């Protein structure tokens, strides 16, 4: 039973990675990273909302990055919504009042989705997007994203490539690698028409999405996931513009990272529960047959693997204690060269190596897509210990919180 579950989970994990890789092979020529400035046939009006809650340190830079976007100024509107900040965020944003295309709103704190909804009420443009007040847009990002909308009226939202802004420490470098991997996987999900998050750092929507499907919902503190689920359920297409870069500030400590990921995983589990009627329904496509099951499989696999590792660890500890009990601190002076005979080449080890090879490929290709100067870096390796060790804890906590229907704090 123990082995059967293990092999089943390995089978499913290999399946997921092969599925991604086959998708890559099918579509690799479609992955274009543009360098030159591009021109649109026409420049539609766009409103970008910045929901702000206690972001006095970064919000000015966020707003400046929007003002510096390569987009006609008369077509770009900004709505800054102070969601009841208790720091000096409002003073900071008030300095931007002199810009004719910036509107400043202030409201009592009600959560990010309420701030975005207030901005939506003041939006009269064809396109709407939100940007987190700790994220910064690349000057070409908006125009590149809007070029995707020119490809067809059925495209209802375009998600960018989110990457880490100036990583400073070990934890942030580990996240940078994870975001690179995310860039690759997001593009693959896009080819499958199965994206499940329209990232908060900056996604552009046709305003029609909100007119047809309603405004943002709380979505278990992951409103950017809930809206994507709702769009997928109604067959609204989400594209990914891989060369539209948005740089986001990331948690700088394990504790902060834990809280952020706890919120994300809790959001995934609970939005999936809310939208469970979508699962394995043919009409919802790969979103129902691949994205959601994949997420569920990863959660189960990581939790299972974690318990297995803990079990093995205690088993090892027990052996050491037994040895100690039997012969004390027996230090053998018999040091032999390692015998290759004792290297256990069993099939699951080979399959795990295979999975990691494909993950490494995803990271390296993601780096290429993110226009990193070097495709390889030793810092890539930071990802494995940080996420390997800490991820099971936030996954288990999210499962635990779901069971208790206890909600994690926003941050």
Partner 1 sequence: MIDWKKYLLVFVITISLFLTAGYISSFFSNQKIDELRTIQDNLAINILSSETQFSLLQELSCKDVSQSLLLGEIDELGKKLEWSQSNLGNTEEVSYLKKYYSLLEIKDYLLMKKISSSCGVKSAFILYFYTTKDVCSDCSKESLVLGSLRDTYPDLRVYSFDYSTDLSAVEAMLKIYKIKDTELPALVLKDEVLTGFHNLEDLSSRVKEVFNLEERSTEATGSPKDVNSN
- List residues binding partner 1 (CB under 8 A): 11, 14-15, 18-19, 22-23, 282-283, 285-286, 289, 319, 322-323, 325-328, 330, 332-334, 341-342, 344-348, 350-351, 354
User: How far is residue 14's CA from residue 17's CA, in Å, rounded to a whole number?
Assistant: 5
Residue 22 Ramachandran class (φ > 0 left, ψ -120 to 50 alpha, else beta): alpha
Q: For residues 339 and 409, which CB has a smaller minimum distance to partner 1 in the complex?
A: 339
User: DSSP characters for 130-179?
Assistant: E--TTEEE-TTHHHHHHHHHTT-TTEEEEEEEEEESS--SHHHHHHHHHH
Candidates 50, 171, 154; CA nearest to 102 is 50
**Quick one: 106 exposed, middle or buried, by C-beta within 10 A (0-12, 13-18, 19+)?**
middle
Least distance CB 108 / partner 1 (angstroms): 44
Work out how close the CB of 330 gets to partner 1 at its nearest, in angstroms, rounded to a whole number.
Answer: 5
Q: How far is the CB of 333 from partner 1 (least distance, A)?
A: 7
89, β-bridge pairs? none
The residue among 344 and 405 lying less far from partner 1, judged by its C-beta, is 344
Minimum Å gap between C-beta 346 and partner 1 is 5
**Nearer of residues 18 and 97 to partner 1, judged by Cβ:** 18
User: Helices in 247-382 by DSSP H: which ranges?
Assistant: 254-274, 285-286, 292-327, 347-369
Least separation, in Å, of the C-beta of 306 and partner 1? 23
DSSP-assigned letter for residue 68:
T
For partner 1, give the closer residue by CB, 36 or 350.
350
Taking the least distance from each CB to partner 1, the nearer of 108 and 353 is 353
Residues 6+ positions from 155 with CB-CB distance below 8 Å: 148, 149, 206, 237, 239
Closer of 348 and 400 to partner 1 (Cβ):
348
| Structure letter (DSSP) for residue 333 | S
Tokens of 208: 């029609």
Length, in residues, of the chain:
411
Q: Which is nearer to partner 1, 289 or 361 (CB)?
A: 289
CB of 340 to partner 1, least distance (A): 9
**Smallest distance, Å, CB 228 to partner 1?**
18
- CA 71/CA 65 separation, integer angstroms: 12
Q: How far, in Å, CA of 303 to CA of 287, rounded?
A: 23
Least Å from the CB of residue 195 to partner 1: 15
Instruction: Say if CB 175 and CB 167 are below 8 A apart.
Output: yes
| Calpha distance 373→367 (Å, rounded) | 8
State which residue, 86 or 357, has the beta carbon closest to partner 1.
357
């Amino acid at each position: 039973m123990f082995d059967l579950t293990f092999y089943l989970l390995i089978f499913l994990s290999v399946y997921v990675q092969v599925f991604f890789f086959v998708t890559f092979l099918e579509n690799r020529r479609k992955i274009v990273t543009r360098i030159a400035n591009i021109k649109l046939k026409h420049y539609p009006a766009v409103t970008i909302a910045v929901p702000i809650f206690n972001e006095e340190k970064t919000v000015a830079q966020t707003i400046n990055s929007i003002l510096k976007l390569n987009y006609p100024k008369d077509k770009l509107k900004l709505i800054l919504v102070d969601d009841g900040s208790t720091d000096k965020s409002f003073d900071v944003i008030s300095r931007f009042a002199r810009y004719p295309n910036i509107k400043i709103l202030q409201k009592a704190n009600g959560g990010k989705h309420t701030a975005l909804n207030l901005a939506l009420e003041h939006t009269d443009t064809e396109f709407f997007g939100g940007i987190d007040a700790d994220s910064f847009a690349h000057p070409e990002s908006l125009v590149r994203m809007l070029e995707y909308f020119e490809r067809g009226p059925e495209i209802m939202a375009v998600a960018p490539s989110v990457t880490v802004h100036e990583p400073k420490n070990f934890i942030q470098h580990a996240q940078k690698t994870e975001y690179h991997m995310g860039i690759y996987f997001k593009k693959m999900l896009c080819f499958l028409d199965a994206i499940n998050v329209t990232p908060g750092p900056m996604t552009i929507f046709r305003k029609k999405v909100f007119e047809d499907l309603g405004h943002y919902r709380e979505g278990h503190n992951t409103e950017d996931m809930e809206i994507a689920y709702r769009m997928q359920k109604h067959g609204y297409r989400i594209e990914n513009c891989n060369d539209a870069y948005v740089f986001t500030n990331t948690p700088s400590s394990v504790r902060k990272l834990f809280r952020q990921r706890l919120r994300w995983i809790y959001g995934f589990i609970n939005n999936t529960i809310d939208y469970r009627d979508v699962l394995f329904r043919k009409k919802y496509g790969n979103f129902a047959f691949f994205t959601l099951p994949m997420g569920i499989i990863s959660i189960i696999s990581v939790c299972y693997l974690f318990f297995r590792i803990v079990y093995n660890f205690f088993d090892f500890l027990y052996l050491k204690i037994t040895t100690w009990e039997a012969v004390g601190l027996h230090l053998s002076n018999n040091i032999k060269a390692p015998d290759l005979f004792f290297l256990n080449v069993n099939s699951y080890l080979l399959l795990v190596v295979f999975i990691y090879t494909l993950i490494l490929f995803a990271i390296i290709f993601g780096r290429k897509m993110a226009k990193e100067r070097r495709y390889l870096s030793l810092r890539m390796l930071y990802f494995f210990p940080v996420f390997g060790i800490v991820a099971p804890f936030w996954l288990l906590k999210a499962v635990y919180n779901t069971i208790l229907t206890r909600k994690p704090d926003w941050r």
